[in-house]
Amino acid sequence: MNHKPHAFVYVCAACFALLIGAVSSSAQTSTIPAQNWPAPQEGDYTVHDFHFQSGETLPEVRLHYYTLGKPLKDASGRTTNAVLILHGTGGTGNNFLRPIFAGVLFGPGQLLDANKYFLILPDNIGHGKSSKPSDGLHARFPRYEYADMIALQHELVEKGLGVNHLRLILGTSMGCMHSWLWGETYADFMDALMPLACLPVQIAGRNRIWRKIVIDGIRKDPDWKNGEYTAEPRAALQISADFLVIAGSAPLHMQEDLPTRDAADKYLADTTARITGSLDANDFLYAVDSSRNYDPSAKLETIQARVMYINSADDFINPPELGIAEREIQRVKHGKFVLLPASEQTFGHGTHTHASVWQTYLQQLLAQSANPN
């Protein structure tokens, strides 16, 4: 099947912390092959004396990031071409430097051409090369939450990279949820938001249950040792991998690609080995737990940016039958919701990173937000 899926579109027509930090950036050319997009630069930015929502503090928080392109400012000094791209739970900014995303969007003449835009891909706290529990503090690492994460992103963008306005924020999964919080917390900082694969309400129901199962499964593993393990706790990693496999699954593709019992069993064994080989129990526990206080629903009317919000119908984490996305988008002043029907072109929750599936809607958003009237 090579046809392009028809999207069911729902359109709505009416509807933190003060940080003290300093730049400590050491940018160098990344070793990631450039393919059809320019080679990214990597750097680190240090926030000093960061106060978390929990009341905990860290004297230094390291934020790692990738950038492509160069920032441009208008005559008034306002940044005009910066795009912030936010990853999901357990991911990194590097996730977007793959052909299914960067190869579709970042190349010459493409929608987010890195010769035209300044693309910012951070590793969030707790992830990638940014400060995280596995660096040494283990379970003594501050119990960060989404409000802390977007405050640190803002610090990186504004003070670390000198960007005072964003043309677009695009976020996938956890990054999707972050984009809603950005739109409310820093309402005049961006022109457009593109949340992909989430819901703009408190995490409850099955979504909360699977997260709580993972959290409890890690904490109740005797080998976790209150976070002070010297070898990765086997049961903790197993339950984490199990739910990552299911939550990210696409039933149609799995049935077609794994048509026999033996094929399914081999896929599970291989995927579990791959996931557990790179997973740290504390890092993943913190990352999943960070969603505990997420709830942008009370302030959706305050969002000023143009919003193009997309979910796919085969998403285990955000099932369309809940009707939440259609209901809540009506409260967003300049909001539009697109539900991509399940097809051979969608990939369950992971559809958010397959840019070819939804790039038409990004094109619409960029055009509409450039000329909002």
Retrieve residue 23's tokens: 């730049």
pLDDT, tens digit, 9 for 90 and up, residues 295-320: 999 999 999 999 999 999 999 999 99
pLDDT, tens digit, 9 for 90 and up, residues 201-237: 999 999 999 999 999 999 999 999 999 999 999 999 9
With b meaning 16 or more CB within 10 Å and e meaning fewer, what string describes 105-117?
bbbeebbbbbebb
Distance set, CA 50 to CA 28, 286, 325 (Å): 26, 17, 34
**pLDDT-derived band of residue 35, with 50, 70 and 90 as boundaries?**
confident
Determine contact, residues 307/195, Cβ cutoff 8 Å. Answer: yes
Retrieve residue 280's tokens: 């740290």
Fold of the CATH domain 205-289? Rna Polymerase Sigma Factor; Chain: A (1.10.1740)
Tell me the three state secondary structure of residue 346: coil
Residues ≥6 apart with Cβ < 8 Å to 223 = 229, 231, 233, 234, 235, 236
Strands 118-122 and 168-172: unpaired
Stated pTM of the model: 0.90
Instruction: Report the distance separating Cα 371 and Cα 59, nearest Å.
Output: 43
pLDDT, tens digit, 9 for 90 and up, residues 45-98: 999 999 999 999 999 999 999 999 999 999 999 999 999 999 999 999 999 999
Strands 335-340 and 8-11: antiparallel
Instruction: Report the distance separating Cα 111 and Cα 81, nearest Å.
Output: 12
Q: Tell me, what amino acid is at 228?
A: E
Q: Domains of the chain: which residue ranges?
A: 8-201+305-370, 205-289
Angle at 120 between CA 118 and CA 123, to 5 degrees: 170
Give pLDDT, residue 280: 97
The angle, 0 to 180 degrees and rounded to 10, between the axes of the packed helices 234-247 and 261-278 is 120
Retrieve residue 226's tokens: 């209150």
Q: Which residue has the tokens 């306002």?
A: 78
Asked if the 8-201+305-370 domain carries CATH number 3.40.50.1820, the reply is yes
Strands 168-172 and 82-86: parallel
Q: Which residue has the tokens 């596995």?
A: 134
